[in-house]
Structure 1
Amino acid sequence: MNPNDTLSAFSLLLCVLILSAGRGELLFNADDNVVQLDFASFESGLSEPTSGKLVQFFNGFCEESQNFIPAFKNLSRKLYKWHRLLKVHVLDCGKDENDMICSIYSIRKTPTLRYFPPSYKLAPDNLGTEITHRNPKEIQSKLALNLQKLDYFKMFKRQDNVAHIFQTHKDIEYVAFVFQMCLDHFLPHLETGNSMEEKYASQGDCNEDNPIVSLIGRNTLLELLPYRKVVVRIFDNHDVYNKFGISPVPNLVVLVNKAGKLLFLTPEMDSSKAYVAAIKQFLIFVDLKPQKPLPKTPPANISEALRYEIFEQHKHHPSRIYRADLERAIDQILNVKFPGTTHFAGAKIVVLRNFVKLIYNSSPLKPEAREKLANLYYSLHVKKQLSGVGFKNLLLKSVKDYVFDGKQYVGCIASRPSLRGFNCSLWVLFHYLSVESKKLKPKSVLLVFLGYVRFFMNCKECDMKISEFKKLRPIANVTNDDEQILWLWEAHNYVNKQLAGDSTEDPKFPKIQFPSERDCPKCRNNATEWRTEEVLHYLKGIYTLKNLSWFGMSSGKHAIE
């Protein structure tokens, strides 16, 4: 839990969010034919035996994932007509609890689309079939090629029994038999798919070595899936006609009902569109309706959906510290606060150098940032004075194209603009540095912290309160790393107490004396007396590198492993 948070504040805010929430606050929902999986439901979801699965591995904080949301929503709604044979799922790789799954399935970027067959079981050489296309028609084409391998598309043979189909599918009323038109038999079927892969695959249709369903038969079957009381079967053997007591003719659909009565339909031309039209016309006549269409849904409000997800994280994981907050603090300091300074000299440039050294030694950033920060530090090391513009130029030269993945505050989210945010993340950053900077001299973190507050922090009250606390707890008394951690904790609580209830306080996140009794029951002997050994143990536990959450980062842990 972040220092300024309380359970009552979380509960109140979450209630407000839930009561005011609409479906638009979710990135994906069932009314768009999308079911979200997580670490607990993923394996059982993929092992379901009756249908194929399309899974999008996404990260809501990733810009590419966000850009793909509208197209994927439209695609999933179109795929609803295939719902009998295909389920559409999403898995959020941005959540810590799903990270192991995304690592196992080698998800290196988001969004990633994979197709999984029915009864899928994980194997090292089978992590699903990746679909690299982003065009909806191309994706549908790839899915159709995979779906046609299902038992549902097996050819109806001379020895097969029509009655067995009705026994297997007890709720159906009609079986529609479609003869696939092949060059060896009648006329070449000219129907092609949506992709070059599908067109190429169709060239080998309908021969003894490759007895797969033709595109006409397959597409007819797919288009009629919304009619749950109808099953389509394809046959490619003239002898099957004898089963129905008729002679082989082109463009013929045979309908059989439960009583075994035959009805013959003649489509206007040899195409799945004509076949489907003929069958649908009959179904209208006998008053058989397709499945109900999906309800209309509003476009996903991505920013509101992410805020909702952030508050859900607070609710379920109150003691997590987020990399996104640390990145936001470092990004703001390096790219806004320091470049906005008119001139660095004397104590100011010492604070600047030592801050970069701290981040270099105990960086919560991605691995590639370490070398870049080292270059920046050595560039600053030889400077006795520097302008803000000069620092910006050094930063651009050293850090170059490094991208900060923390795009918004998570643990430091505010109920309205101008509250919490950077100031909250600054405290979190220095608490983290006080725990992780074990290799540096005692007081190193505190000296940088005090220097930053004095020279760069746009909060006169904070500077004044910290100065007051320094008189109560002289920094000269800090002689080791543990005392440094506790000094910063006491200073933070002192400032919280002094500023509680003023205009800087977020009403949804009151400034408290942390940790709360809920977060650390052992940290107090009673309502007022702290047990510093337990507090120290608590601080070392939550502000350590291994406890940092990847939630809120545009690239997850799995993407850099």
Structure 2
Amino acid sequence: MGSVTLRDETVETPPSLSTGSTEEGPVPPLQSFISAKGGCILSAALAKALQQGWARRRGEAGQCLELGVRGQGAPGRRGRDAWGRYSGSVRRATANSSAAWLVQFYSSWCGHCIGYAPTWRALAADVRDWAAAIRVAALDCAEEKNQEACRTYDIHFYPTFRYFKAFTKDFTTGENFKGPDRELQTVRQTMINFLQNHTDGNRPPACPSLDPIRPSDVLSLIEKRGDRYVAVLLEDDSSYVGREVILDLIPYERIEVKRALGSDTAFLQKLGVPSLPSCYLIHPNGSHGSVSVGKPLRSFFSSYLRSLPGVRKKPSSLPGRPSREESSEAVVWRDFDRSKLYTADLESGLHHLLRVELAAHRSLAGAELKTLKDFVTVLAKLFPGRPPVRKLLEMLQEWLASLPLDRIPYDAVLDLVNNKMRISGISLTNRVEWVGCQGSRPGLRGYSCSLWELFHTLTVGAGAHPEALDGTGLEDDPQAVLQTIRRYVHVFFGCKECGEHFEEMAKESIDSVKTPDQAILWLWKKHNLVNSRLAGHPSEDPKFPKVPWPSPDLCPACHEEIKGLGTWNEGQVLLFLKQHYSRDNLVDTHSADLGGPGEGAPAPGEKQEGSRAPPEQPPADHGAESLRPPSLLPPRPRLSERSQPGLDLPLGSRAGGEGRRGAEAAAAFLGMGFSSLDMSLCVLLYVASSLFLMVMYFFFRVRSKRWKVKHHHPSV
């Protein structure tokens, strides 16, 4: 038995709001969620969010997933692992199971998870004989089909280890790993501690007692004869060798292993045990004595006991491994220009950020909510993507700013991001397409690459257009964007170890940033520092080695020598960064089909703004003159001033005159991207509601008058 890879898809349960409260607390009144600018459209979306998010009954969800039993492999390593797959689920695997479970929730893009994979594979192989008592599994939260399951189990950071006791009937999110580190020996010992914490009522039946027996019990075993060997591991109280050997011998028959503490010196002398730990073996014929092994180690004791005459492995009662199935995921390589920035990378990263990483949080409050609002504000003002994406971000920012709540369900945010109400003119791809951030194999680069690109575009955008942040509370602060990024990484970034490293770097030197240009250079320096630390790490893509960036071939002017020592020309680096992460360097060629059918896509027949192939340009000279800071973003008009779908007036072609005034008036009336049909439905709903209230008013008024006439006639 090796590790088990779980792949999950959770189905929502029917909501119920009849009680006015949920497991997470009272349901806020619907009126408090309605944005003044969103009108009935947003209130409908939030009503649905209330039903799906606040009234969700965790743990009752039906799940359908795929469990892959593996030996020493890792997901996506083709040709290295013998994979078996069969249907199952996290819930079904752990619920009322005869064995306990240790499940690692990880993300295939997380560098720390990639680096930890060899340790996890080694652990799975090391404890494969413990499977009847405790099993090891893994769930990749980066896979779309598993994302709802990871939310159900409240997984916010990767990797997260959870223990599930045997015979657990009610839903539980498991017990968090409490070890001081994640070294193999530490995890193995915490698995033993977890098994010992089971009560007699829920202890795995295949797990022998791990508690020590008394010296008198050892003597009674010596006096008995049986049909099996009895091995007694004598050890100190702090030793785990005896318990590990007991678990190692679970699948073997004709042998029983126990442990005893060697605190009684006279008892040890009577048995002739010279040192601890030692093994005292009682043979079926009644003979007994101390076992001599090369080294007093777990592996030596286990190997000796397995090799005894007549000791053999029991027929396995665990699910067998079906035929080998290789991963069908293949990397289709796409050539790209490394000097360009690609819309597909930024939007795919934004998709993962909004729909996966943030969605791991069921609700947001306090510092988390403040961080989300500030980060969305920075995105709405500085994201250099296509107009439909920018409109979505601006709508999300205005909606968040208008909510007077101190807690919101994230499902409400998801409804807007997914454009559940089909508001025209806004969209965000729900597909992942890496171009400049593609890796040579699955799990490399991808989201982490796109997140760095996003952060760089935000710092460059803040320097090029400081006026974009006017009125947000983030203006006039050169550290504002950096501090917002810092808080996002600390609070939301899934790779916990990565977030801790970023926080350490920020504490050391972020206070030295006094200008927007220094903010740009600070992030560049820290990015190179991270690359230097991760060089040679398992998460490094061999096709994209982590070397100082930009490389000499990408920016010759950025590199120079002083007295034979290579160094950076930071003035040229700054110019290069402003050019590289500018809107003018953003290529939409590979993202023409990003808004395809599905949630978040424009309506059929609707033309997407901003999907253009850039004009062919000669390779840029990276000298000082060619690297002057270009404009990152076009002027950012207010939403009411932008062209709306159906007006057939491109943003850049509006001149003065009646046509422009009429278009602006129509756009101002529609507002927030709503069509005339949307507004008509709102008006119709308002009129119908008013008529209904009037009818009810007159009905009760007439009824009240009749009641007064009937019950207040004069007495005779």
TM more than 0.5: no
TM-score by length of structure 2 reads: 0.34
Q: Which has the higher contact order (CA 8 A, sep 6+)?
A: 1
